[in-house]
């Protein structure tokens, strides 16, 4: 599996950034929502990470994240890849303001990989939590439940 691309270039505010499939921003709530569909593989994860890091570089304020894994049919990932991505994210986000990253999971496979991410992210500005309940995720993020519902 391919490791995340760690090259990062500053994006001008004038440039229009194309969001990866399933990504929506709520600027008022400072919340990025990602709802991947189908099979989640390394290519999709790398695409999201590249987009996320560009957004972090140009953002004037930190933003929280919510990922809804309920529409995934399968995961084509390896533990080693997930560990490397999580370690990369921990390093690349070091020194930035704290943010919350909530993951809504409905399968054991998703839960397994996200536990790796959460463990690697401990003691970093990326506060990762896994939820099996949308209401609890919304409460933790401090957003209306309707913003997290599909």
Output the six-digit token pair for 25. Answer: 């921003």
Question: pLDDT tens digits for 79-136?
Answer: 999 999 999 999 999 999 999 999 999 999 999 999 999 999 999 999 999 999 999 9
* pLDDT for the residue numbered 6: 40
Query: How does pLDDT run across 3-38, given as a tens digit for each residue?
Result: 444 443 333 343 446 789 999 999 999 999 999 999
The half-sphere exposure of 115 on its side-chain side, counting CA atoms within 13 A, is 7
What would the pLDDT profile of 39-81 be if each residue is shown by its tens digit?
999 999 999 999 999 999 999 899 999 999 999 999 999 999 9
Nearest to residue 97, comparing CAs of 60, 136, 52, 142?
60
Can you give the pTM of this predicted structure? 0.86
SS (H, E, C) the chain: CCCCCCCCCCCCCCCCCCCCCCEEEECCCCEEEECCCEEEEHHHHHHHHHHHHHHHHHCCCCCEEEEECCCEEEEECCHHHHHHHHHHHHHHCCCCCCEEEEEECCCHHHHHHHHHHHHHHCCCCEEEEEECCHHHHHHHHCCCHHHCCC
Structural domains in the chain?
Answer: 23-147 (3.30.750.24)
């Amino acid at each position: 599996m391919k490791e995340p691309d760690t090259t990062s270039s500053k994006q001008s505010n004038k440039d229009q950034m194309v969001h990866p499939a399933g990504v929506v921003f709520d600027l008022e709530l400072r919340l990025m929502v990602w709802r991947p569909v189908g099979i989640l593989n390394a290519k999709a994860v790398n695409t999201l990470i590249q987009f996320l890091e560009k957004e972090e570089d140009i953002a004037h304020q930190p933003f929280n994240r919510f990922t809804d894994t309920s529409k995934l049919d399968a995961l084509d990932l390896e533990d080693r890849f997930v560990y490397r991505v999580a370690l990369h994210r921990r390093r690349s986000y070091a020194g930035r303001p704290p943010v919350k990253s909530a993951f809504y999971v409905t399968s054991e496979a998703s839960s397994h990989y996200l536990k790796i991410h959460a463990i690697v992210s401990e003691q970093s500005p990326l506060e990762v939590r896994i939820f099996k309940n949308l209401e609890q995720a919304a409460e933790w993020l401090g957003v209306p439940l309707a913003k997290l519902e599909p």
